[in-house]
Structure 1
Amino acid sequence: MTADPVPDPVPDPAAEDPYCQHPDPRRHPVGRLDDARCSVQALLAGDSPLATAPPARRWLLVEQPGPWGRDALLQSRFDADVAPRLAQRAREAGLRIQMVRRPGEKLVDSQGRWAVADVREGWVRWSRRGSDAELLEVPLDGSVGVQVDTPAFLVCTHGGHDACCAVRGRPLARTLPGDVWETSHLGGDRFAANVLVLPTGHLYGQVPEDGGGLAEAHARGQVVLTGLRGRAGLTPPAQAAQQFARVELGLLGVADLPVVSVRSGGAGADGTERWEVGLTGPDGAVQVVLDSRLSADSRRLTCAALAPGRWRTWHPVAVHRSPAPVG
Structure 2
Amino acid sequence: MPDTITATCSALSATDEPLAGTAAQVTGWVCLEFPGAWGRDVLDGTALGLDLARELDARADAAGVRIMFIRRPGRSTAAPDRRTVLLAQSHPARSWCERLEIAYPEDLLDLDLGLVAGRAPGLGTPVTDPVVLVCAHGKRDQCCAVLGRPVAAALAEEFGDVVWECSHTGGHRFAPSQILLPTGYTYGRLTVQQSVEAVRAAARGEVYRTGLRGRSCWDAPAQVAELAVRELVDAPANDLTVHANSIVTHRDGRRWGVELQERELPPRPASCGAAPKPVRSVVATGIRALAP
Alignment TM class, shorter chain as reference: 0.7 to 0.9
1:93 counterpart (63, 75, 78): 63
- Give the structure 1 partner of residue 106 of structure 2: 133
Q: Distance in 2 between matches of 1:116 and 1:202?
A: 15
More deviation, 303-312/111-120: 303-312
Q: Which residue of 1 aligns with 2:244?
A: 262
- Give the whole-Å Cα distance in 1 for the aligned partners of 2:260 and 2:191: 29
Structure 1 residues 107-131: Cα deviation after superposition (integer angstroms, max 9, x where no partner): 2446312132111121112221122
Change (3 A) 1:110 1:172: farther
Question: Partners of 1:203 and 1:189 in 2: how far apart?
Answer: 12
SS for the counterpart of 2:240 is coil
- Name structure 1 gaps, 5 residues minimum: 1-31, 264-275
In structure 2, relative to structure 1, the CA distance for the partners of 1:186 and 1:302 (3 Å cut) is same
Larger radius of gyration: 1
Structure 2 residue 85 is the aligned partner of structure 1 residue 114: yes
CA shift digits 1:158-179 (9 cap, x unpaired):
1100100111100000001321
Match of 1:292 in 2: 261
Instruction: Tell me how far apart the structure 1 counterparts of residues 222 and 265 of structure 2 sit (CA, whole Å).
Output: 23
CA–CA distance in structure 1, aligned partners of residues 186 and 180 of structure 2: 6
Kindly indicate which of the two structures has a greater share of residues assigned to helix.
Answer: 2
- Partners of 1:33 and 1:172 in 2: CA distance: 21
Work out the number of aligned pairs and report it.
276
Q: Structure 1 residues 208 and 46 mapped into 2: Cα distance closer, same or farther (>3 Å)? A: farther
Q: Pick from 163, 167, 175: which aligns with 1:192? A: 175
Match in the other structure for 1:235: 219
Q: In the superposition, relative to structure 1, how do residues 262 and 110 fare at CA in structure 2: closer, same or farther (>3 Å)?
A: farther
Question: Does the Cα contact within 8 Å between 1:151 and 1:199 map onto a contact in 2?
Answer: yes
* Alpha-carbon distance in structure 2 between the residues aligned to 1:38 and 1:237: 23
Q: Superposition RMSD on alpha carbons, in Å?
A: 2.1
Deviation at 1:291, TM superposition (A): 2.0
State the Cα distance separating 1:239 from its structure 2 match.
Answer: 1.1
TM-score with structure 2 setting the length: 0.87
Cα deviation for residue 54 of structure 1 reads 1.9
Deviations 1:193-226 (Å, cap 9, x if unpaired)?
Answer: 1111001111111121332511111111111111
**Greater relative contact order (CA < 8 Å, ≥ 6 in sequence):** 2
Deviations 1:277-303 (A, max 9, x none): 242254x32222222222242212221
Structure 2: segments with no counterpart, 5+ residues = none
Whole-angstrom CA distance in 1 between matches of 2:18 and 2:27 = 23
Q: Is the Cα–Cα contact under 8 Å of residues 39 and 189 in structure 1 kept in the other structure? A: yes
Contact preservation (8 Å) 1:149, 1:199: no
Contact 1:291 1:317 in 2 (8 A): yes
Match of 2:247 in 1: 277
1:310 aligns with 2:283: no
| TM-aligned CA deviation for residue 252 of structure 1 | 4.3
